[in-house]
A = this chain, B = another copy of it.
Amino acid sequence: MDARREPTKTRQERRDGGRADDGHDLTFVPGPLGPDSLQRIHAYWRAANYLSVGQIYLMANPLLREPLKPEHVKPRLLGHWGTTPGLNFIYAHLNRIIRQRALNMIAVWGPGHGAPGLVANAYLEGTYSEIYPDVARDAEGMERLFRQFSFPGGIPSHASPELPGSIHEGGELGYSLAHAFGAALDNPGLIVACVVGDGEAETGPLAASWHSNKFLNPTTDGAVLPILHLNGYKIANPTLLARMPADELRSLLVGYGYEPTFVEGDEPAAMHQAMAAALDAVLDEIAAIRHSARCGKVRLPRCPMIVLRSPKGWTGPKAVDGKPVEGTWRSHQVPVAATRENPEHRAILEDWMRSYRPEELFAEDGSLVPELAVLAPKGPRRISANPHANAHKSASLRLPDLRDCAVPVPGPGRSRAEATRTLGGYLREVLSLNKDARNFRIMGPDETVSNRLDAVFDVTGRAWQEAMLPGDDHLLRDGRVMEVLSEHLCEGWLEGYVLTGRHGLFATYEAFAHVVDSMVNQHAKWLKSSRDLPWRRPVPSLNILLSSHVWRQDHNGFSHQDPGFIDFVANKRGDTARIYLPPDANTLLCVTDHCLRTYDRINVVVAGKQPAFQWLTLDEAVTHCAAGVGIWEWASNEGETEPDLVMACAGDVPTQETLAAVDWLRRHVPELRIRVVNVVDLMTLPAPETHPHGLDDPTFDSLFTRDRPVVFAYHGYPWLIHRLTYKRTNHGNFHVHGFIEEGTTTTPFDMCVLNRLDRFHLAQAALRAAPRLGARGEHAEEALRDALAAHRAYVRQTGDDLPEVRDWTWPERHAPGDHDRRIEGDIMQCGPTDTAKPGQAGTVDGWAVVN
């Protein structure tokens, strides 16, 4: 299907002229399109190209009904022409195949910088004017369409949430294919066309994304149709995939598991026929695969795809100032620049735009002529109006009763459980309850079991379409857990899944969440912009569970020790970012249950997987999580008046160490009146004008006091707490202990010691911050120093923590002066099936719908 002209001649011709001569009399070449169809699809393409150029250049005279004058041209020319005509070409042909086969199709446009073309198409389809009535299908509307592009208060130069039919921000490159596969999951009737630019194809995430086909079930999922668009150049360089030998490119795509059909050339007529033929063949093949699979046939063939090789800036100016432009990197952005100042440049622009013959395309009132308007699909079949791209499936999840999932907590520190294992039981129920709705998935880099969520495998498996062998663990064609050793893929799939209205959880190691910083960043920006668009439906939140966290990476060492993802998310806007640090299993349940009910958020939950003491019953957890922060009265001894000191904590390990420090202090300096405050929702700390969860000042002061020292044990980098609280009255008295990049290979407790987040350092900090305690305080400080020295010696010798440290728990009761009494209660070990019995726990209502 090579539709190239004889190259030497073409090249020569291009150099000769400064203007396009784009198919005025398109000579018929045979192919699937009849003569009339060929002329019409070509005219539709011209219309899209015309509107694209108009957006980049014009602010008046949109239909060129008068000669082009300087004042018709925008003062600042911005946008990317290079990729646009290729996108318009693909769009026109997708329209044809949608109409012909009544397809349910959305499209993901990787070369999203080509927004002029995508906006033009949405306008040609009428969707744009339906959503933005100001931008009507008439001359005045067309002027608005042109003017708003890359203009203050208008739309950006790449595909953005403002573009109807899009689920994919076209700013940062690399994620189109992962988004496309995420959108296709559990949508068996859907086809997701995904245009991959040859620039984007060089990125790591995209290079890995091709393998997503090994996770897509042809029976229960939709199809993805990749269209690799080779236009040869990036900003200045040739692209790797366009320049590598053709046999290597085919081999690469076959190796990725695809069967490529090549459409190559620059002659419009031949290219239209080749593209139409390719789409016919590819859609036949998709239908055949679906049919076989759904008849139960084992047929996992190579997935069909198209490689479109077309000139960059196709149909644009052939040359400007004597330098070739069409087909070169010079057409990447604005191919002819000085159109306001330079009459010659302006003439090139005018000739270029007139070469599309707008007078044939648009009627007197400026609307698309009827014989072209019928080429667009109708209603929700339009790519720009497909309801999948606007989260039309965003039904809420059915969620289990937390009482069926909680762990029994006979008293603070009376039982141990692994928080994430408890969560696994909850997620198993979520999967069961939504089995038929097929709208919940779990993604993770091969860590579902490692993160102890394995109860989910009671009811589902790991999605896998490759061969299965004896000994494989819970592989399942239709598995709802998706594991691949690529955080990029996990995150990208989940984004595509939630952007099309379904729900999910991405569970990953805390330290390596940074791998997807930039993806989460772009998703946050998408949510921020969408929220300003009334027509955009809310999308289920992106829920990220960080486990295997910084404080329990003993043997893995420094590379696995990093809590910085929280800081990254905390930089995002208050209307988007949520960060939860549940201190134990039941609070983790409450927080997750809450997150799964929310929309338009990025929820980050940090929770350990190791056996740990449990502090709160489900009832208490519900109350505590609803408030987001609270005084733990059972741990405090402040009495009637204000305490001498607040011991605050956020995170599971910091909470344990704080309670151990408080226990120690209450034994050794019982006259010290301590308040224990636990923070589960980090965003209660900033002021309410900064974050909607922020406590008002009186409430904050009632917890943290206005003038007492606050020793704050925090899971992450300590300065985040300072940042969040710096406007608070009492901020000057905050002493925050957190991770200070003193990681190494060591034991859990020693890791805390190295970072001064352990009970002894926290108690020391309390003694130093608290009012003078005289000799008693000095004795206590000495005892703490001794304890630290003893720990140090023991751990280096034995490789383990001191038993009295490791096995410490909160005593059943504290009495003043019970200095040396150690209470050895029975510690209950909770397995994954131990749950609080119904009736033991109280209501779980009251927090679910709060955002």
Contact indicator A150/B745 (Cβ below 8 Å): yes
**Assembled-state Cα–Cα distance A234/B472 (Å):** 11
- Neighbouring B residues of A462 by C-beta, 8 Å: 236-237
Is A27 part of the binding interface, using a Cβ–Cβ cutoff of 8 Å?
A: no
**Assembled-state Cα–Cα distance A152/B174 (Å):** 41
**Assembled-state Cα–Cα distance A329/B483 (Å):** 14
Chain A, interface residues (CB within 8 Å), range: 35 or more
**Assembled-state Cα–Cα distance A239/B208 (Å):** 13
Residue of B208, B249, B556, B722 touching A171 (CB-CB under 8 A): B556
Is A238 part of the binding interface, using a Cβ–Cβ cutoff of 8 Å?
A: yes
Contact indicator A152/B573 (Cβ below 8 Å): no
- Neighbouring B residues of A750 by C-beta, 8 Å: 152
Residue of B173, B236, B489, B521 touching A514 (CB-CB under 8 A): B521
Q: A172-B559, A203-B485, A568-B568 are in contact. Are A795 and B152 (CB under 8 A)?
A: yes
Q: Which of A472-522 contact B (CB under 8 A)?
A: 472-473, 475, 483-489, 511-512, 514-515, 517-518, 521-522
- Neighbouring B residues of A239 by C-beta, 8 Å: 485
Q: Which of A614-637 contact B (CB under 8 A)?
A: none
Is A849 part of the binding interface, using a Cβ–Cβ cutoff of 8 Å?
A: no
Is A395 part of the binding interface, using a Cβ–Cβ cutoff of 8 Å?
A: no
Residue of B79, B205, B251, B449 touching A251 (CB-CB under 8 A): B251
The stretch that binds B, out of A46-54, A253-261, A379-387, is A253-261
Is A775 part of the binding interface, using a Cβ–Cβ cutoff of 8 Å?
A: no
A772-792 CB mask vs B (1 if < 8 Å, else 0) is 000000000000000000000
- Neighbouring B residues of A240 by C-beta, 8 Å: 211, 214, 466, 484
Q: Which residue of B lies closest to A516 (CB)?
A: B518
Contact indicator A745/B555 (Cβ below 8 Å): no
Is A525 part of the binding interface, using a Cβ–Cβ cutoff of 8 Å?
A: yes
- Neighbouring B residues of A206 by C-beta, 8 Å: 204, 208
Residue of B238, B254, B257 touching A466 (CB-CB under 8 A): B238
- Neighbouring B residues of A466 by C-beta, 8 Å: 238, 240, 243-244
Q: Which residue of B lies closest to A572 (CB)?
A: B741
- Neighbouring B residues of A337 by C-beta, 8 Å: none
The stretch that binds B, out of A70-78, A136-144, A342-350, A835-843, is A70-78
Q: Which residue of B lies closest to A492 (CB)?
A: B204
Residue of B160, B255, B521, B554 touching A252 (CB-CB under 8 A): B255
Contact indicator B203/A799 (Cβ below 8 Å): no
Q: Which residue of B lies closest to A488 (CB)?
A: B204
* Shortest CB distance A201–B (Å): 8
Q: Which of A566-608 contact B (CB under 8 A)?
A: 567-568, 571-573
Is A747 part of the binding interface, using a Cβ–Cβ cutoff of 8 Å?
A: yes
Residue of B324, B744, B745 touching A471 (CB-CB under 8 A): B324
This chain: copies in complex: 2
Contact indicator B799/A59 (Cβ below 8 Å): yes
* Shortest CB distance A617–B (Å): 32
**Assembled-state Cα–Cα distance A464/B237 (Å):** 10
**Assembled-state Cα–Cα distance A34/B634 (Å):** 75
**Assembled-state Cα–Cα distance A591/B208 (Å):** 37
- Neighbouring B residues of A747 by C-beta, 8 Å: 76, 152
Contact indicator B243/A741 (Cβ below 8 Å): no
Contact indicator B525/A514 (Cβ below 8 Å): no
Is A200 part of the binding interface, using a Cβ–Cβ cutoff of 8 Å?
A: yes
* Shortest CB distance A150–B (Å): 4
Q: Which residue of B lies closest to A748 (CB)?
A: B76
- Neighbouring B residues of A511 by C-beta, 8 Å: 171-172
Is A157 part of the binding interface, using a Cβ–Cβ cutoff of 8 Å?
A: yes
- Neighbouring B residues of A525 by C-beta, 8 Å: 558-559, 562, 743
Residue of B173, B249, B475 touching A238 (CB-CB under 8 A): B475
A697-740 CB mask vs B (1 if < 8 Å, else 0) is 00000000000000000000101001100100000000000000
- Neighbouring B residues of A156 by C-beta, 8 Å: 555-559, 744-745
Is A30 part of the binding interface, using a Cβ–Cβ cutoff of 8 Å?
A: no
Is A528 part of the binding interface, using a Cβ–Cβ cutoff of 8 Å?
A: yes
Is A798 part of the binding interface, using a Cβ–Cβ cutoff of 8 Å?
A: yes
Q: Which of A311-341 contact B (CB under 8 A)?
A: 324, 328-329
* Most B CB within 10 A of own CB, among A174, A252, A485: A485
Contact indicator B484/A202 (Cβ below 8 Å): yes
- Neighbouring B residues of A518 by C-beta, 8 Å: 512, 514-515, 517
Q: A512-B172, A723-B719, A723-B723 are in contact. Are A329 and B199 (CB under 8 A)?
A: no
Contact indicator B235/A449 (Cβ below 8 Å): yes
Q: A237-B462, A469-B238, A559-B172 are in contact. Are A254 and B251 (CB under 8 A)?
A: yes
Contact indicator B204/A152 (Cβ below 8 Å): no
Is A371 part of the binding interface, using a Cβ–Cβ cutoff of 8 Å?
A: no
Is A560 part of the binding interface, using a Cβ–Cβ cutoff of 8 Å?
A: yes
Contact indicator A473/B236 (Cβ below 8 Å): yes
Is A448 part of the binding interface, using a Cβ–Cβ cutoff of 8 Å?
A: yes
Is A446 part of the binding interface, using a Cβ–Cβ cutoff of 8 Å?
A: yes
Is A447 part of the binding interface, using a Cβ–Cβ cutoff of 8 Å?
A: yes
* Most B CB within 10 A of own CB, among A250, A449, A515, A517: A515
* Most B CB within 10 A of own CB, among A152, A174, A560: A152
**Assembled-state Cα–Cα distance A722/B557 (Å):** 31
- Neighbouring B residues of A204 by C-beta, 8 Å: 174, 203-209, 486, 488-489
Residue of B76, B234, B745 touching A446 (CB-CB under 8 A): B234
Is A153 part of the binding interface, using a Cβ–Cβ cutoff of 8 Å?
A: yes
- Neighbouring B residues of A488 by C-beta, 8 Å: 203-204
Contact indicator A559/B237 (Cβ below 8 Å): no
A540-574 CB mask vs B (1 if < 8 Å, else 0) is 00000000000000111111101010011001110
Q: Which residue of B lies closest to A717 (CB)?
A: B571
Residue of B157, B199, B572, B744 touching A745 (CB-CB under 8 A): B157
Contact indicator A158/B559 (Cβ below 8 Å): yes
Is A808 part of the binding interface, using a Cβ–Cβ cutoff of 8 Å?
A: no
- Neighbouring B residues of A484 by C-beta, 8 Å: 202, 237, 240
- Neighbouring B residues of A449 by C-beta, 8 Å: 235-236
* Shortest CB distance A845–B (Å): 34
Q: A248-B255, A559-B160 are in contact. Are A485 and B234 (CB under 8 A)?
A: yes
- Neighbouring B residues of A76 by C-beta, 8 Å: 554-555, 747, 799-800
Give 20 A-B contacts (CB < 8 Å), ordered by A residue: A75-B800, A152-B796, A153-B745, A153-B746, A154-B745, A155-B557, A234-B485, A236-B446, A236-B483, A238-B466, A245-B467, A248-B255, A252-B252, A255-B256, A328-B471, A512-B518, A514-B518, A522-B559, A567-B568, A723-B723
For the complex of A and B, the 9 pairs showing the least CB-CB separation, nearest first, are A171-B559, A252-B255, A156-B557, A78-B555, A204-B204, A514-B518, A207-B207, A251-B255, A150-B555
| Contacts A157-B557, A253-B255 supplied; 5 other A-B pairs, CB < 8 Å | A202-B211, A204-B488, A252-B254, A517-B517, A529-B558
